[in-house]
């Protein structure tokens, strides 16, 4: 799908990858609607792009509806909904006890995607055209040993994308799941990764990621990877699942 003249909603676009994609998509001629829980970020990015934005919490279904209504009132029917917002949280080795953290991860990484699909799919199906793009993580193909809630919900996000693609592709709906590796964003720094760590040296910038996403959307690729890490994880699981689990066990600090 070409981005020119398409109406695109990007969640989590007040900073990081979302903001970089908002700028890059706008450069391609898309009509971008900015939304994020960070009101200052929404104001800044929307002003820069001369577009509209709304600061909301998309873990609430009413907020997703409000963003969609803003997009439709301003530009018309939504062509692409990019569910990009996410939260990693600090490493908490083996922590299964924090119900609030589990609920936040579930609402943000799974239910916000469900709410978006409920909101925009009916009109897309009527037109026989539309695009649902979701950000999961390379963790969805592997795991994060110190973040069980993050790992489990990112797997669920990928599974939901798979279900959407299998269910609606024949009816004209394009679906992509973006599973990025480490990126130079505040989320990575919040993990306490030192600036001289090898991960930082090889991590992509948000701008590089945005370029890759434009290319992937153009060819309507389902699984979007930005490094060999994701493919390596898939290959390792398919080749020797037991060994993959053993390798993951060696990395945990629990």
Strand 53-55 and strand 31-36: the pairing is: parallel
Give the model's pLDDT for residue 26: 98
Write the CB contacts of 202 (distance below 8 Å, at least 6 apart in sequence): 182, 227
Q: Which residues are catalytic?
A: 150
Provide the token pair at 39: 């009101």
**So where are the chain's domains?**
7-229
Give the model's pLDDT for residue 198: 46
Residue range 55-102, pLDDT digits in tens? 999 999 999 999 999 999 999 999 999 999 998 776 665 567 778 889
Which CATH architecture fits 7-229?
3-Layer(aba) Sandwich (3.40)
The pTM score is: 0.89
Question: Helix (H, G, I), strand (E, B), or coil: what is residue 127?
Answer: helix
Distances (CA, A) of 207 to 18, 22, 139, 183: 10, 10, 21, 10
The whole-angstrom distance between residue 218's C-alpha and the CA centroid of its chain comes to 17
What does pLDDT average to over the chain?
Answer: 90
Where do the H-state alpha helices sit in 54-205?
61-75, 99-106, 112-127, 148-168, 186-190, 198-202
Which residue stretches of the chain have pLDDT < 70?
90-95, 183-203, 252-254
């Amino acid at each position: 799908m070409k981005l020119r003249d398409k109406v695109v909603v990007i969640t989590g676009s007040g900073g990081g990858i979302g903001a970089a994609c908002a700028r890059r998509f706008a450069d391609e001629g898309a009509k971008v609607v900015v939304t994020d829980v960070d009101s200052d970020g929404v104001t800044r990015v929307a002003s820069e792009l001369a577009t509209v934005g709304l600061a909301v919490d998309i873990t609430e279904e009413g907020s997703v509806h409000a963003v969609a209504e803003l997009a439709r009132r301003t530009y018309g029917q939504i062509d692409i909904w990019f569910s990009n917002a996410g939260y990693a949280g600090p490493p908490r080795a083996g922590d299964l006890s924090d119900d609030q953290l589990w609920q936040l991860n579930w609402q943000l990484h799974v239910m916000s995607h469900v709410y978006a699909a409920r909101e925009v799919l009916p009109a897309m199906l009527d037109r026989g055209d539309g695009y649902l793009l979701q950000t999961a993580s390379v963790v969805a193909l592997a795991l994060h040993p110190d973040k069980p809630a993050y790992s489990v919900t990112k797997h669920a996000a990928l599974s939901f994308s798979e279900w959407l693609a299998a269910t609606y592709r024949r009816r004209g709906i394009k679906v992509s799941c973006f599973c990025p590796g480490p990126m130079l964003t505040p989320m990575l720094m919040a993990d306490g990764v030192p600036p001289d760590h090898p991960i930082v040296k090889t991590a992509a910038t948000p701008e590089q990621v945005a370029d890759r996403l434009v290319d992937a959307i153009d060819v309507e690729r389902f699984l979007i990877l930005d490094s060999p890490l994701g493919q390596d994880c898939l290959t390792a699981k398919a080749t020797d699942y037991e060994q993959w689990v053993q390798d993951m066990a060696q990395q945990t600090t629990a």
